[in-house]
Structure 1
């Protein structure tokens, strides 16, 4: 028997669209289901200035199919040379909705990120003044810190000191992967939110390493122990307004994933909503899916909830998702949850 669920059209509060041929290939996958998305700025070169963001915004709109509607919410890449006044002008224009902090070397195309946080204090103070959120990739990059501990250490060494030094700064902890991240958000006020990805609700570190290395499950931050995955599930399905969907859908062509030094990232734009319905049903929380995917994010960013709707249906036959998406640069593998999914978008 068919089961259905209709929710306000969702948004994606952490999305990689890349550029050029890859942008043209993956943008329709997100625009099919999502009304808006926070667009990651870690291109080469990165989107650093208001002018960079405006130019990238135009390239995204030019790549959007005529029969789709989609609002790219632009983000500036924080560097040690970022000009606070340029940030303020970008925000005042309505184009830029956040600034992204990448610790240098933390993830794909993060070499231009921050090493000396004192050098960005003026930018952070300006952002607190004007109410512009800071999105953080929350990992330290010190070689002496175990990769599975980098999120927890970042909270103690970097994030908490930044927030204490900059009262009023609104912060999104992006793609949290640990119980430590969940607990830190829950212990703080409404100026702090967190996105949770689809894939971190489904995989733990065993999926990457047990029985051979699975490159299409490798992402940064890397998936953690099962206890952390369960904490993320509890947070996502709780209805708590501080947790919302950010897929971190990150396309890489197969040759760059399946090599001796494979790129980090899971491409989930195509099947995220069906997978979330599966997860929320497993947790007995289908009634909370709309909050997580459609309401909590706009609430944090001060934007209206979408008036359009999206309907998910469940059938008695497994949904067949495409294995790959073709791009002019090469094939991109769609995230495979490893189990049958009976939900799909109508």
Structure 2
């Protein structure tokens, strides 16, 4: 028996497209399903000003196949040298949608991130004034803080003080991974939202570590205990408009993932919607899928909801996805959830 679900075409509010040959490979995987995406700026070198953002957007659009429609929502990489007026002009022109905060050293290509938060206060104050959202990688990077505690400590030490001192700053807590993160959003109903990834809804740290290290499940922020996964599922399934999809789909060459010191990131773009439909169905929340993927994000960012739709169908046959895709001289491995998928985008 076939089931069918038609929803407003989704958006992805946290996406890595990379550049060059990798961009050519991964962009169509997102554009087939998603109308828009917040594009991460952590290239090498990073996208730090309006000229960088304009050039990167041009490269993205040049890589888009002619038969697909997609709008990249550009971001600037916040540094201690970011010019508030450049941010304001880029936002006013529609070139950028948000600014991204990486604490220095928090994740892939984040060495140019912020170390002294007082140095970026003028930028954050300008962003609050003009209504430009701040997308936050919410982890401290102190060597003495356990990697599983870094999100909770960031909320207490960095995020909450910033929000209290700069009223009106709109903040997206990207890829929350803990009950602490979900609870903080639930306790603050103004100017605060959060994205949740596919992998953090379906896995906990046991899935990554028990029986051997699974490098394709390794991402940052890292997978946490099951109690945290359950809190994220409850948030996503609740229909609360403060929670929305940000896949954080993050491709790396297969050899960089399957390495002694593996790269952090899960390439989920090809099968994200199939996994989500199955996960929401299993959680008795299939009626909340459209809100999570298609409605809550535009509401937070003040953007119109997409006018077109997609249809998901569920059949008896398992849906097959390629194990890898060619990317220049390398391959990129498609995320495998480890269980059969039966929902597909029609």
TM-score with structure 2 setting the length: 0.99
Task: Deviation per CA, 1:93-146: give whole Å up to 9, x if none.
Answer: 101000000000000000000000000000000000000000000000000000
For 1:259 and 1:38, the matched residues in 2 are separated by: 29
Unmatched runs of 5 consecutive residues or more in structure 2: none
Could you tell me which residue of structure 1 aligns to residue 341 of structure 2? Answer: 341
The DSSP-based 3-state class of the residue aligned with 2:247 is coil
How much does 1:237 deviate? 1.0
Q: Is the 8 A contact 1:22 1:327 kept in 2?
A: yes
**Offset at residue 230 of structure 1 (A):** 0.7
- Per-residue displacement from partner, 1:262-287 (whole Å, max 9, x unpaired)? 00000000000010000000110100
Aligned position for 2:229: 229
Alignment of 1:205-244 (within 5 A): 205-244=205-244
Total equivalences in the alignment = 346
1:96 counterpart residue number: 96
**Alignment match, 2:83:** 83
The answer to whether the Cα contact below 8 Å between 1:3 and 1:313 also exists between their aligned partners in 2 is: yes
C-alpha deviation, 1:193, in angstroms: 0.1
* Aligned positions of 1:21-32 closer than 5 A: 21-32=21-32
Return the alpha-carbon distance in structure 1 between the equivalents of residues 123 and 292 of structure 2: 30
Q: Is the 8 A contact 1:176 1:194 kept in 2?
A: yes
| RMSD of equivalent CA atoms | 0.5
Alignment partner, residue 195 of structure 2: 195
- For 1:69, what is the secondary structure of its paired residue? coil
Structure 1 equivalent of residue 300 of structure 2:
300
The 1-side partners of 2:318 and 2:119 are apart by: 52
Shift of 1:203: 1.0
Taking the aligned partners of 1:134 and 1:329, their CA distance within structure 2 comes to 36
CA drift of 1:329 comes to 3.9
Q: Which runs of 4+ in 1 moved over 6 A?
A: none
Supply the distance in 1 between the matched residues of 2:182 and 2:338 (Cα, whole angstroms): 25
- Measured against aligned partners, the alpha-carbon deviations of 1:6-28 in whole angstroms (never above 9, x if no partner) come to 00000000000000000000000
- Does 320-329 or 56-65 show the bigger shift? 320-329
Offset of residue 190 of structure 1: 2.7
Aligned partners of 1:46, 1:190: CA distance in 2, in Å? 30
- Name the residue aligned to 1:273: 273
- Measured against aligned partners, the alpha-carbon deviations of 1:141-162 in whole angstroms (never above 9, x if no partner) come to 0000000000000000000000
2: distance between equivalents of 1:313 and 1:330?
33
Equivalent residues in 2 for 1:301-340 (5 A)? Answer: 301-340=301-340
The equivalent of 2:163 in structure 1 is 163
The corresponding residue for 2:74 is 74
Taking the aligned partners of 2:341 and 2:28, their CA distance within structure 1 comes to 22
- What's the TM-score once normalised by structure 1's chain length? 0.99
- Hey, what's the Cα distance between the residues in 2 that align with 1:79 and 1:329? 32
Unaligned runs of 5+ in 1: none
Give the Cα separation in 2 of the matches to 1:196 and 1:10: 14
Partner residue, 1:117 = 117
Aligned to 1:154: 154
Q: In structure 1, what is the Cα distance between the partners aligned to 2:329 and 2:194?
A: 32
Asked whether 1:175 is paired with 2:159, we answer no
For 2:332 and 2:82, locate their aligned partners in 1 and report how far apart those are by CA, in whole Å.
Answer: 33
Indicate conservation of the 8 Å contact 1:190/1:242, yes or no. no
Does 1:52 pair with 2:52? yes
